[in-house]
Structure 1
Amino acid sequence: MTDKPGLLLVNLGSPDAPTTKAVRKYLFQFLHDKRVIDTSRWIWCPILHFIILRTRPARSAKAYAKVWGEEGAEAPLVAITRAQAKGIAERLGEDVHVDIAMRYGNPSIGSALDALKAKGCRRIAILPMYPQFAGATTASVYDGVAKALTRRMDVPELRYLRDYHDDPRYIKALGEGLKSHLKTLDWTPDVIMTSYHGLPQSYVDKGDPYQAECIHTTDLLRAHLNMSHADMRTTFQSRFGPKAWLQPYTDNTLEKLPSEGMKKVAVMMPGFSADCLETLEEIALEAHETFEEHGGEKFTAVPCLNDDPEHLDFLAAIARENLLKGWL
């Protein structure tokens, strides 16, 4: 075995199949994470086990089925992350072993670390696939790696990337992706929305930098494209439960836009490195329907950067510069 470093791309995860049983297993793991739900376990666990896990899996399974693809295929998020890993590996060359893991579901962080260890990797770089840092995402990846190594006698040297929300190359890739998509349309949007996954307001109040980094990403993208605040708006999607989440909400904004004279809209999701349920179903399908129901005429969801060559060039570059420096 050769002493090559490993690079592990980690994203959120998906169920193993678009079925109620698989979704329940996935949600059990996801919603037990204290980084995701910081409510007292005495309060949260009864709600999770006796209400949410009995009702939500069936609804979520139907949503996953809309975007899953062929029977037996992997979830879009997992398949795209594999394609990203393949492209990054091609760019880094044979000096690095590149693999993927999901924070929840499969392939697990533990199994990926085992696979890299079996290849002789004593140094492993962790690249969380979240442009903006949040405790519920990036910090949870740190927790997941630590938990996977808890009982091991021999652990690798580790490096982590915190975020890349303001890297000029990332902003450029977002801008080029947006321009390329808009060229495929026979109409021009009245407004472009940058929709980020939401977070409870209380998390930000406690010091989570996520909201500020999302707003900064949009500000930089707006400047890169020479757009005004009226041309590009920041919103937050995917709220869950009764707590106040980051605002303005994406769905509420889409409901109001037609009454403000903006009946043609493009929605992009700069907080997602790969298309997933929240982009393919929640935005491209549900948000589209909501917009039209309230008088909207034209709607488009801009694909995430996924395995776009410029995106892969950038990810390989930050891996080499920030994580693998001195190891190669």
Structure 2
Amino acid sequence: MSATPKPKVTVILANLGTPDEATVPAVRRFLKQFLSDTRVIEIPKPIWWIILHLFVLTFRPKRVAEAYASVWSNDSPMREIVLEQTELVKQRLQLENQHFDLTVVPAMTYGQPSIYTVFEQLEKDPQEHVILLPLFPQYSATSTAPLYDAVAKWIPKQRHLPGFTLIKDYYQHPMFIQALADSVLTYQTKYGKAEKLLMSFHGIPQPYADKGDPYADRCRMTAKLVAEALHLHEDEWAISFQSRFGKQEWVKPYTDVVLQQWGEQKVKSVQVLSPAFSADCLETLEELAIQNKELFQHAGGGEYAYIPALNSDQAHIDLLASLVQANLDALTHTLAHR
């Protein structure tokens, strides 16, 4: 008598994306895909098409490619880290869920490995259930929502639909907050505590927040909880938002403005943490670690250090696995009682 087949479950760990290479053509392809998404850019399409093709894709790729080249090794840092995160989470989940035929795969909203390629594979190998974990701790319509859109595009084409779970975010999850706090303490144990801790998050345009995007409020809550976990006084830390693009107002305060002011105030030392990034990437390794260090010190500031993202730290892998495991436990219960 043959054994009952194990239910097939696929877990997808998805990040935003990265170019295939640190070259101008590859960066141009990536920026075209990324900046053509109406979730990211809400300017009317005809107007934005002209701006994108005549200006952005003409002048920006060279500068961005040079920035990528300064942090690129064998591959994009983000892609290398996401692949490592996926492998570690897979090992953990497969060990603890042997009653499932469990697959864990990486995906990117833009670039490779594409979320759409993952969906194509699911069509060839129908699953009982799919769990999608966006690697964005704080939900935003500019980052997490495009993954919802990808799912929405895929579902109408399917005849054999799996159950589907999309984990929205985890900006105040106790394991997340503790992992961030511990990363700061570990760094400070080795290098000492700075006069100021700056928690810098990727920004979004202020009009997006005004229309209801909860991202900035979630960032503020993350920062508040981390500061509380570290027992910091109000004058020992600040929150800021980086990477603004274009001329419109973005959520404030701006990271570069805060660092400029601290430099002018002769702040002796600054450490920067970026709790919005689950993997180090161009915005952390080049913008935060290099550009903003130069800005702060040129303005008169002292020592400056970037504290790495959680990346593949054990506490981070434990968190990601735990987020998925809660849904696998619920699925186990559901399958046992249907």
**TM bracket, shorter-chain basis:** over 0.9
Using a 3 Å threshold, how does the CA distance of structure 1 residues 323 and 162 change in structure 2: closer, same or farther?
Answer: farther
Structure 1: state its 5+ residue gaps: none
Output one character per residue of 1:63-120: Cα deviation in whole Å (capped at 9) or x when no partner: 0001111xxx321111101111111111111532100100000110111123345454
Give the 5 Å matches for 1:192-231.
Answer: 192-231=197-236
Q: Distance in 2 between matches of 1:27 and 1:291?
A: 29
Q: Distance in 1 between matches of 2:252 and 2:25?
A: 33
Partner of 1:86: 87
Out of 124, 135, 144, the position equivalent to 1:138 is: 144
Moved over 4 A (4+): 116-120
Q: Does 1:274 align with 2:285?
A: no
Radius of gyration: which is bigger? 2
Q: CA deviation at 1:240?
A: 0.1
Partner of 1:156: 162
Q: CA deviation at 1:325?
A: 2.2
Please tell me whether the aligned partners of residues 283 and 301 of structure 1 are also in contact (alpha carbons under 8 angstroms).
yes
Q: CA deviation at 1:124?
A: 0.6
Q: What is the root-mean-square deviation of aligned Cα atoms in Å?
A: 1.5
Q: CA deviation at 1:324?
A: 5.6
Aligned length: 324
Which moved further from structure 2: 85-94 or 307-316? 85-94
Partner of 1:313: 318
Q: Distance in 2 between matches of 1:59 and 1:198?
A: 20
Q: Does 1:177 align with 2:183?
A: yes
Q: CA deviation at 1:183?
A: 1.9
User: What is the letter of the counterpart of residue 77 of structure 2?
Assistant: P
Which moved further from structure 2: 283-292 or 119-128? 119-128
Out of 99, 108, 114, the position equivalent to 1:108 is: 114
Please tell me whether the aligned partners of residues 265 and 300 of structure 2 are also in contact (alpha carbons under 8 angstroms).
no
Structure 2: state its 5+ residue gaps: 334-338
Out of 9, 13, 16, the position equivalent to 1:5 is: 9
Q: CA deviation at 1:252?
A: 1.0
Using a 3 Å threshold, how does the CA distance of structure 1 residues 284 and 324 change in structure 2: closer, same or farther?
Answer: farther
Scaled by the length of structure 2, what TM-score is found?
A: 0.92
Which moved further from structure 2: 12-21 or 91-100? 91-100
Partner of 1:55: 59
Using a 3 Å threshold, how does the CA distance of structure 1 residues 16 and 324 change in structure 2: closer, same or farther?
Answer: farther
Partner of 1:300: 305
Output one character per residue of 1:141-174: Cα deviation in whole Å (capped at 9) or x when no partner: 1112222445344333211011100011100000
Please tell me whether the aligned partners of residues 127 and 161 of structure 1 are also in contact (alpha carbons under 8 angstroms).
yes
Out of 280, 285, 289, the position equivalent to 2:290 is: 285
Please tell me whether the aligned partners of residues 160 and 323 of structure 1 are also in contact (alpha carbons under 8 angstroms).
no
Q: Distance in 2 between matches of 1:322 and 1:154?
A: 21
Partner of 1:241: 246
Q: CA deviation at 1:52?
A: 0.4
Q: CA deviation at 1:327?
A: 4.0
Out of 19, 22, 34, the position equivalent to 2:23 is: 19
Q: Distance in 2 between matches of 1:116 and 1:256?
A: 51
Using a 3 Å threshold, how does the CA distance of structure 1 residues 291 and 91 change in structure 2: closer, same or farther?
Answer: same
Q: Distance in 1 between matches of 2:140 and 2:236?
A: 27
Out of 32, 39, 45, the position equivalent to 1:41 is: 45
Q: Distance in 2 between matches of 1:42 and 1:15?
A: 25
Q: CA deviation at 1:262?
A: 1.4
Please tell me whether the aligned partners of residues 126 and 162 of structure 2 are also in contact (alpha carbons under 8 angstroms).
no
Which moved further from structure 2: 106-115 or 209-218? 106-115
Scaled by the length of structure 1, what TM-score is found?
A: 0.95
Please tell me whether the aligned partners of residues 137 and 171 of structure 2 are also in contact (alpha carbons under 8 angstroms).
yes
